[in-house]
């Protein structure tokens, strides 16, 4: 049975169907081409040359009742197998190792090509805060590095 009058819905429903079919293509393209902020300045600690990179420019988020910010850590020099334990935190001072051992937050993990960490952070990052990396080697040496937080991450 043919419709003699085309309604608004009959004329426009194909546009809605086209948008619904195009959305998965858009989301797949975005997931295959992620955009990351630039690596921060590389620093030397013992045998290691390290450059952190935040995975986004968002504020810290709540993860298991603790605020964290995700980082990729590039070890550009040094053997990662010489690291016994390594941690990240954002704050005015590095957290002691005893504080890190209470939970899994802040622990660096990954492969020799790159490490990942949920850096323990305050709810809002201030200009006084720094990114701290604490590395303990199997020989017991403790290395601590700090980076200034770029202005786009400061919320106060």
The SS3 assignment for 122 reads coil
What is each CA distance from 21 to 12, 15, 27, in whole angstroms?
Answer: 15, 10, 11
Report the pLDDT value the prediction gives residue 3, as an integer from 0 to 100. 67
Contact 73, 108 (CB under 8 A): yes
**DSSP structure class, residue 153:** G
Q: Range with the lowest mean pLDDT among 3-17, 27-41, 68-82, 117-131?
A: 3-17
Q: Which residues contact 90 (CB under 8 A, 6 or more apart)?
A: 60, 69, 119, 120, 121, 122, 125, 129, 130, 131, 132, 149
The fraction of the chain above a pLDDT of 70, given in percent, is: 97
pLDDT per position as a tens digit, 112-130: 888 999 999 999 999 999 9
Q: How many CA atoms lie within 13 Å of 130's alpha carbon, on the beta-carbon side?
A: 12
For 27-36, write each residue's pLDDT tens digit.
999 999 999 9
The enclosing H or E element of 95 equals: none
156 has a pLDDT exceeding 70? no
Across the range 58-76, mean pLDDT stands at 92
The rounded mean pLDDT for the chain is 91
């Amino acid at each position: 049975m043919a419709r003699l009058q085309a309604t608004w819905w009959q004329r426009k429903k194909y546009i809605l169907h086209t948008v619904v079919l195009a959305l998965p293509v858009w989301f797949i393209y975005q997931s295959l081409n992620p955009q990351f902020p630039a690596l921060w300045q590389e620093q030397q600690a013992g045998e290691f040359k390290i450059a952190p990179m935040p995975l986004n420019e968002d504020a810290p988020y709540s993860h298991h009742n603790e605020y964290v910010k995700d980082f990729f850590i590039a070890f550009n020099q040094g053997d990662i197998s010489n690291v016994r334990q390594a941690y990240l935190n954002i704050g005015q001072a590095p957290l002691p190792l005893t504080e890190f051992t209470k939970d899994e937050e802040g622990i660096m993990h990954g492969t020799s090509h790159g490490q990942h960490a949920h850096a323990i952070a305050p709810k809002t990052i201030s200009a006084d805060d720094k990114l701290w990396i604490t590395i303990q080697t199997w020989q017991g040496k403790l290395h601590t590095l700090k980076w200034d937080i770029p202005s786009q991450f400061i919320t106060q």
